[in-house]
């Protein structure tokens, strides 16, 4: 997608290099984390560290202070998930078929509930244990596509558009279904004593172009890694987030609850759908985001299943093979580090990670010496937000998307 205008980050400091326009060979992705089971203990979200690993973390933490920003802190390789944050964003599109169904709803209230179902569907996808994806380097990008059962397609592109502060811009488009998702993720990490929290700041929205650009703004819950000093390490979602459609006068306020020290269960959430202008509560939301989520009308005494993540079908994405990717494309950029992590070769993984970070520092120094500010390839800054530069029609009919033979 837009390959003819992609600039190779490894040579951008000295010259602009056009990447070839030959059609890549897309391959189905196999790196999407599997479904997790839900229980009060939620074993897939916990991890017991070996003494040596715990000692490394303790040594790192001894240099920190409470509420310190961790963006500039280098984490040990054994806590890394072998993929970039830019690719991890696609987890939230893994059930986009639910959004296709939402786009077909004619009533505003039913459509809002259907969009909420989609919004809640991606949080259960995570690696086993407590892992964090790679921090993308400036100019890194990731792109992929999906093919749906109704004969339509969708594409996704994400780019690291800023390093200080870190900003990841992304865009999902399915023009044939009239759907766009766009946003900026601006994570901030904080040390809280026995926990580390990743604050998922940024602005994102869903838009239905065939419904007069009906617009749904949403924010994301924060992510907590508990037990980094003592006890089991646990990954949790916490705090409040919102889904809002101003044209429908509807808002859903959600509270992702972390487990208490002595009581409670993992992965719980509660929420309310309200008429925003009056504050009137229409529906209650409850359940666990890792298994079943329920909805209940305030006029009813019984609740129904809004989403069952254990039966929801994952939509597998297709990614061009690494050999045909640009050198600043996520999977190729991090390929050696990912291979080392998968082979449990931690010394080699550390070397690969340090090598990428050093190249990033060298490129930043060259840009400063040449007075050539970084310019994103896929996004532009408009009114304080990064927006997608591309054209849906061009992207869908470009060389990276292979249209299926719909006569079959």
pLDDT in tens, 313-361: 899 999 999 999 999 999 999 999 999 988 988 889 889 988 998 998 9
Distance CA 205, CA 208 (A): 10
| Whether pLDDT at 39 is above 90 | no
Question: Mapping DSSP to helix (H, G, I), strand (E, B) and coil, where does residue 191 land?
Answer: strand
Q: What is the pLDDT of residue 5?
A: 33
Distance of CA 139 to the CA centre of its chain: 17
Amino acid 397: pLDDT: 40
**How high is the pLDDT of residue 401?**
43
- 173/392: higher pLDDT: 173
DSSP per-residue letters across 77-99:
GGGEEEEEHHHHGGGGGTTTHHH
The answer on pLDDT for 398 being more than 50 is no
pLDDT digits 0-9 by tens, 281-302? 999 999 999 999 999 999 999 9
The predicted model gives 367-388 an average pLDDT of: 91
User: What average pLDDT does the structure give for the chain?
Assistant: 80
Tell me, what DSSP letter sits at residue 73? P
Task: For residue 28, name the pLDDT band (cuts at 50, 70, 90).
Answer: low
Model pLDDT, residue 56: 47
Of the two residues 273 and 235, the one the predictor is more confident about is 273
- What pLDDT score was predicted for residue 242? 97
Structure tokens at 82: 């072998």
Task: State pLDDT tens for residues 145-197.
Answer: 999 999 999 999 999 999 889 999 999 999 999 999 999 999 888 777 777 78
Environment class of 230 (CB within 10 Å of its CB; exposed 0-12, middle 13-18, buried 19+): exposed
> Does residue 4 register a pLDDT over 60?
no
What is the C-alpha to C-alpha distance for residues 286 and 233, in angstroms, rounded to an integer? 25
Confidence category of residue 65, pLDDT binned at 50, 70, 90: low
Mean pLDDT value of segment 373-388: 91
Q: Cα separation of 92 and 96, whole Å?
A: 8
Residue 6's pLDDT is 35
Please give the model's pTM, rounded to 2 decimal places. Answer: 0.80
Q: Which two three-digit tokens encode residue 252?
A: 């859903």
Q: Which of 114, 78, 75 is nearest to 96 (CA)?
A: 114
Q: What is the pLDDT of residues 246-268, one digit of tens each?
A: 999 999 999 999 887 656 788 89
Instruction: Give the other-Cβ count within 10 Å of 63's Cβ.
Output: 8
pLDDT of residue 78: 58
Predicted pLDDT at 188? 85
- Give yes or no for a contact between 26 and 78, defined as CB atoms under 8 angstroms apart: no
Mean pLDDT of 198-211: 91
């Amino acid at each position: 997608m837009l390959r003819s205008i992609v600039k190779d980050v490894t040579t951008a400091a000295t010259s602009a290099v056009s990447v070839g326009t030959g059609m890549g060979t897309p391959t189905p992705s196999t790196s999407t984390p599997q479904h997790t089971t839900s229980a009060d203990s939620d074993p897939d979200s916990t991890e017991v560290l070996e003494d040596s690993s715990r000692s490394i973390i303790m040594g790192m933490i001894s240099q920190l202070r409470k509420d310190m920003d961790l963006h500039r802190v280098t984490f040990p390789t054994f806590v890394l998930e072998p993929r970039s944050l830019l690719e991890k964003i696609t987890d939230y599109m893994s059930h986009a078929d639910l959004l296709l169904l939402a786009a077909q709803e004619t009533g505003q209230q039913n459509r809002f509930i259907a969009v909420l179902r989609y919004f809640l569907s991606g949080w259960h996808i995570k690696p086993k244990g407590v892992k964090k994806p790679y921090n993308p380097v400036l100019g890194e990008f990731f792109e992929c596509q999906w093919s749906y059962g109704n004969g339509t397609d969708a594409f996704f592109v994400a780019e690291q558009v800023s390093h200080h502060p870190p900003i990841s811009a992304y865009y999902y488009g399915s023009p044939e279904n009239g759907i766009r998702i766009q946003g900026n993720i601006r994570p901030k990490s904080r040390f809280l004593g026995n926990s580390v929290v990743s604050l998922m700041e940024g602005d994102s929205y869903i838009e239905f172009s065939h419904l007069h650009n009906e617009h749904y703004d949403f924010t994301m819950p924060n992510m907590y890694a508990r037990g980094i000093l003592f006890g089991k390490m646990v990954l949790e979602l916490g705090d409040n987030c919102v889904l809002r459609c101003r044209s429908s006068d509807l808002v859903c306020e959600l509270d992702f609850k972390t487990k208490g020290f002595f009581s409670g269960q993992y992965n719980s959430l509660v929420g309310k759908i309200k008429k925003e202008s009056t504050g009137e509560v229409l529906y209650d939301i409850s359940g666990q985001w890792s298994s079943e989520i329920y909805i209940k009308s305030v006029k009813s005494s019984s609740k129904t299943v809004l989403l069952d993540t254990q039966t929801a079908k994952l939509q597998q994405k297709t990614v061009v093979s690494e050999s045909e990717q640009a050198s600043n494309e996520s999977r190729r950029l991090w390929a050696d580090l990912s291979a080392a992590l998968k082979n449990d070769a931690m010394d080699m993984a550390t070397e690969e990670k340090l090598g990428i970070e050093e190249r990033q520092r060298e490129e930043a120094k060259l840009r400063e010496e040449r007075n050539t500010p970084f310019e994103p390839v896929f996004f532009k800054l408009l009114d304080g937000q990064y927006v997608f530069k591309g054209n849906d029609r061009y992207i869908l009919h470009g060389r990276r998307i292979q249209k299926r033979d719909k006569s079959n």
